[in-house]
Amino acid sequence: MTALPQPAAQRPFGHLWRWTSNPLALLEEGAGRAPVFELRLWRRAVVGYRPDWNRSVLGDLDTFRSQGSLSGLTPYLDGGVVHTDVPRHAARRRDLNPHFSTRALAGTTGQLHALVDSALPSGPFDALGWAGRTVRRLLNLVLFAGRLPDPLLAEFLAPLHQPPPHPLLPRPRLFRQIRTAIDGALTDPPPGSLPAALAGLDGDAAEELRIALAAGYDTTAHTLAWGLWHLAETPGWRRADAVDAVLDEVLRLHPAGWLGSRVTHRDTVAAGVALPAGTLVLYSPYLTHRDPELWSAPDRFRPERFAAGGRPAWAYLPFAAGRRTCLGAHLARLVLRTALTAFCSGELVVLGGDPTPRTGITLRPKGPLWLARRT
């Protein structure tokens, strides 16, 4: 096994202590040493962030498998399409993709607009809390035709806002309750709704909906909170015609999916580095998006970089890429665009708060993020 460059470690724990206390600083130090580096966590992990690495790790689903990767550590993501590997993954995505396409979701836009309008705050509000509550209701509407009780959803999703180990702990009673509620939403759903489309799915539709909820909730809520913060900070960008560029830039600076993982199924080579079978392999949209060789002034909020539309290949990964790209990317963009556009009219100002990135299963602003909206 070839030894790779690595950030400073602490005996006897390797990088484990630094990983649990400040993984972003650890990753940034590693990235400063080499394009591919290793970490000594509870097991060896090899990390890369340049486009050639991303293309290998995300492009070859046969070699880089999901089973055994970090998502298996949390019951929230340990199932459904997230943990389906080749050869079944392709068929699963073929079944699911059409129901999450822009065209399939078009019918829900009127309801999403109405819900956001009815939820708009007036006066001071914490953008992080508001985004969480609103995204929860929006996802309930789209994924379950609004049929899940909001208090149950809130209880189910709350651990995703908390630091590890909370999202990693088993919660069998709560998971049984949510399963029963989703089974109910799949029984006799309104025609034309997503649950109606998935009810006929070959396989476990309730499981896929639970995974979509868990994968889509805090990712979308945290992105929305950051989006509102940036809109309030830069009033010149608070225009309906600029929302897509703002959103692209928010997703670049603060990719909620800051770290992804795979396990090699066979001996292989990626970006010139030999990886034995069974290696834990990490890719990091956070590092890729802040690499000065790929992005100019990467730490600055500059939506104009997206206004012209171009983005470097395998270097912009807010929703990953390849055949495992995020199932909910269109849904997330629709929800985020709808909510951010609603804040383009009236006044929006920053009152105070802490937008520093914090890591958990997803990246989040430390918060609170106090803003004020006035019409």
Q: Contact between 270 and ligand HEM (CB under 6 A)?
A: no
Distance between CA 116 and CA 163 in Å, rounded?
Answer: 28
- Give the C-alpha distances (Å, rounded to integers) separating 48 from 188, 193, 300, 349, 361: 47, 40, 23, 38, 19
Q: Contact between 65 and ligand HEM (CB under 6 A)?
A: no
Closer Cβ to ligand HEM, 14 or 222, answer by number: 222
**Residues 295, 289: contact at Cβ < 8 Å?**
yes
Instruction: Please give the span between the terminal C-alpha atoms of the chain, in angstroms, as a whole number.
Output: 62
In the stretch 98-127, what mask flags binding to ligand HEM with x, by CB under 6 A? Answer: --x---------------------------
Q: Which stretch binds ligand HEM (CB under 6 A): 42-50, 124-132, 256-264, 272-280?
A: 256-264
Out of 64, 319, 343, 370, the only residue in the binding site for ligand HEM (CB under 6 A) is 319
Closer Cβ to ligand HEM, 26 or 334, answer by number: 334
Query: What are the φ and ψ backbone dihedral angles of 370, each rounded to 5 degrees?
Result: -85, 120
Closer Cβ to ligand HEM, 39 or 224, answer by number: 224
Strands 357-359 and 363-365: antiparallel
Helix H or strand E encompassing 45: strand 44-48
Closer Cβ to ligand HEM, 100 or 237, answer by number: 100
* Chain position carrying tokens 């989006």: 227
In the stretch 324-353, what mask flags binding to ligand HEM with x, by CB under 6 A? Answer: x-xxx--xx---------------------
Q: Contact between 82 and ligand HEM (CB under 6 A)?
A: yes
Q: Which stretch binds ligand HEM (CB under 6 A): 115-123, 176-184, 217-225, 235-243?
A: 217-225
- Total residues contacting ligand HEM by CB under 6 A comes to 23
β-partners of residue 373 are: 123, 348
Give, in degrees to the nearest 5, the angle at Cα 96 between 90 and 98.
110
Q: How many CB atoms lie within 10 A of CB 151?
A: 8
Q: How far is the CB of 195 from ligand HEM (least distance, A)?
A: 13
Closer Cβ to ligand HEM, 95 or 372, answer by number: 95
Q: Which stretch binds ligand HEM (CB under 6 A): 21-29, 214-222, 263-271, 337-345?
A: 214-222
Q: Which stretch binds ligand HEM (CB under 6 A): 48-56, 213-221, 296-304, 352-360?
A: 213-221
β-partners of residue 36 are: 48
Q: Which stretch binds ligand HEM (CB under 6 A): 121-129, 216-224, 229-237, 292-300?
A: 216-224
Out of 24, 46, 182, 211, the only residue in the binding site for ligand HEM (CB under 6 A) is 211
Dihedral angle sign, alpha carbons of residues 205, 364, 26, 170? negative
Query: What are the φ and ψ backbone dihedral angles of 65, each rounded to 5 degrees?
Result: -100, 155
Out of 47, 112, 205, 215, the only residue in the binding site for ligand HEM (CB under 6 A) is 215
**Residues 331, 100: contact at Cβ < 8 Å?**
yes
Query: Which of 317, 323, 328 minimizes the C-alpha distance to 86?
Result: 323
Distance between CA 84 and CA 92 in Å, rounded?
Answer: 8
Q: Contact between 303 and ligand HEM (CB under 6 A)?
A: no
Out of 61, 160, 212, 280, the only residue in the binding site for ligand HEM (CB under 6 A) is 212
User: In this structure, what DSSP letter does residue 50 have?
Assistant: S
Q: Contact between 257 and ligand HEM (CB under 6 A)?
A: yes
Distance between CA 222 and CA 256 in Å, rounded?
Answer: 7
Question: Which residues contact ligand HEM by CB under 6 A?
Answer: 81-82, 93, 100, 211-212, 215-216, 219-220, 223, 256-257, 260, 318-320, 324, 326-328, 331-332
